[in-house]
Amino acid sequence: MSVQLSQQGDVAILMLSRPEALNALSFAILEEIGAALDKVAGMPVRALIITGAGEKAFCAGADIKELRGRDLVAQKRGAELGQRVFAKLDTLPVASIAAINGYAFGGGLELAMACTFRVALRSAKMGLPEIKLGLVPGYGGTQRLPRLIGQARALDLIMTGRSIGAEEAQTIGLVNRLVEAPILDSALAMAAEFTGYGLPALGFAREAVQRALDLPICEGLKVEADLSTLAYRTQDAEEGMAAFSEKRKPAFRDA
């Protein structure tokens, strides 16, 4: 298996484990990631961390050796597979953190962009270098990058194929936080900042923000009114507001 799924406390950890090829994404590995994400959806966890095995790479992208010589139908199906697998992260019941421990290129950065959050070591390098291969990002990069960092910056990265360091990635909003090694500990610490809140409120908040990117503002505001009202109706909201008044810590029950 080139993907390892484990659990630490209330956090699932998905490790890409093909360090000899810098965790490059063969189609078989994409299928394994998809199966692992399905399992995460049924696990009693409150967050998911995705990271790469070895010292060098989060993931160096699609397996370039496997990409050669494919017919167009197979290639399109491959792109759709990558998109479908990464899209599972959008609808996962829990938020995900990409822990970028080294190179994140091409499909590797596309996987990280599909996560809810990205943290990176200062030494990490990332980019969408497909243009250098005569290719165009195919696992969501042309759609997710402009949504994260804006069209002008996305075009800069996609059309030059240049690699950027973690500090620039944070400056442009591609990475949420620069963190210290060991990255798994840093990612677990970040997860602990939100896993104590109620899952319904976390889910509604994530959904409202995700939909903001796809909707005209008048529609988005309606979604916000609906989801914030749903949150208000939860027992967790009652508990949270009561705890505030009684000057105690709330005990959320995901209800």
Q: Are 10 and 46 in contact (CB under 8 A)?
A: yes
**57-59 and 103-105 as β-strands: parallel, antiparallel, unpaired?**
parallel
Binding span for ligand CAA by CB under 6 A among 58-66, 164-172, 190-198, 238-246: 58-66
Separation of alpha carbons 104 and 152, rounded Å: 21
Which listed residue (61, 200, 203, 250) binds ligand CAA by CB under 6 A?
61
Q: Are 57 and 21 in contact (CB under 8 A)?
A: no
110 has catalytic annotation? yes
* Cα Rg, the chain, nearest whole Å: 19
For residues 141 and 198, which CB has a smaller minimum distance to ligand CAA in the complex?
Answer: 141
Smallest gap from residue 14 Cβ to ligand CAA (A): 18
For residues 74 and 133, which CB has a smaller minimum distance to ligand CAA in the complex?
Answer: 133
Smallest gap from residue 12 Cβ to ligand CAA (A): 24
Task: Give the containing element (helix H, strand E) for 194.
Answer: none
Query: For the residues of 117-163, what is the DSSP string, one character each?
Result: EEEEETT-EEE-GGGGGT----SSHHHHHHHHH-HHHHHHHHHH---
Which listed residue (35, 64, 131, 148) binds ligand CAA by CB under 6 A?
64
Smallest gap from residue 236 Cβ to ligand CAA (A): 39
130 has catalytic annotation? yes
Which listed residue (3, 24, 119, 121) binds ligand CAA by CB under 6 A?
24
For residues 52 and 137, which CB has a smaller minimum distance to ligand CAA in the complex?
Answer: 137
